[in-house]
Amino acid sequence: MTIHNLYIFDRSGILLYYAEWNRLKQSGITREEEAKLMFGMLWSIKSFVCKISPLDTKKGFLCYKTNKYALHYFETPTGLKFILNTDVNAQNVRELLYQIYRQVFVEYVIKNPECNLKEPIKSELFKSQLDAFVKQSPIFGLKSY
């Protein structure tokens, strides 16, 4: 199992934070472009999924999987969006995303008055805490590249 990368968007689509771990192939476009496409795609998937759902959607769109990777999506009621790309075998990623929100994002960004919530996160403390948190997860795997 492994984790490829993480995006955090705010409600309006600003990329607050990006991190990557075992990402072996780049998309070939700039980070901004990639983030914009990612947000646009998620926005479209989310609204379409709700439209074709036979029942009222409660949690809406959660993840999709290709034969090479899986994208996991977690949105808070405040509209913060956490996206984690993993390999296809990863289990309980949703739980991990929630823990990242709860134990890292809220603790080191929301409770840090230095962090402006409408700008990309620059806090080094957040970076190192997030990195450590992701690496200790069983989903990250023991293999280090």
Binding residues (CB under 8 A) for another protein: these are 11-13, 36, 39-40, 43-44, 58-59, 76-80, 98, 101-103, 105-107, 110-111, 117, 129, 132-133
Residue 102 Cβ vs another protein, minimum distance, rounded to whole Å: 4
Residue 22 Cβ vs another protein, minimum distance, rounded to whole Å: 23
- Kindly tell me which of 38 and 90 has the beta carbon lying closer to another protein: 38
Residues β-bridged to residue 70:
65, 86
How far is the C-alpha of 6 from the C-alpha of 121, rounded, in Å?
A: 13
- Kindly tell me which of 21 and 82 has the beta carbon lying closer to another protein: 82
Residue 145 Cβ vs another protein, minimum distance, rounded to whole Å: 24
Which residues neighbour 25 within 8 Å (Cβ) at sequence distance 6 or greater? none
For 141, the 3-state DSSP assignment is: coil
Instruction: Name the strand (E) or helix (H) holding 16.
Output: strand 15-20
